[in-house]
Amino acid sequence: MNPAALAVADAARLLAKASSEPVTEAMIRGDIDDGAPTNPDGTVNLVHYAAWLAMKTREDAGG
């Protein structure tokens, strides 16, 4: 697996294993619909996705 180019399903499985919270393909697709970055081929770069999540969390917290 290449963490810079994961299929959404693979990203969900990997993140679910690494997290104490559930992570599903539908959750990641929802984030993509909300503007999370993807590679031109539709794969997910985990570093870019994590940075987007951090930015989104900060925005949602009012910062």
pTM higher than 0.85? yes
| Helix intervals (H) in the chain | 8-18, 25-33, 46-60
pLDDT at 62: 82
pLDDT at 15: 96
Note the pLDDT tens digit of each residue in 5-41: 999 999 999 999 999 999 999 999 999 999 999 999 9
Sequence spans of domains, the chain: 8-60
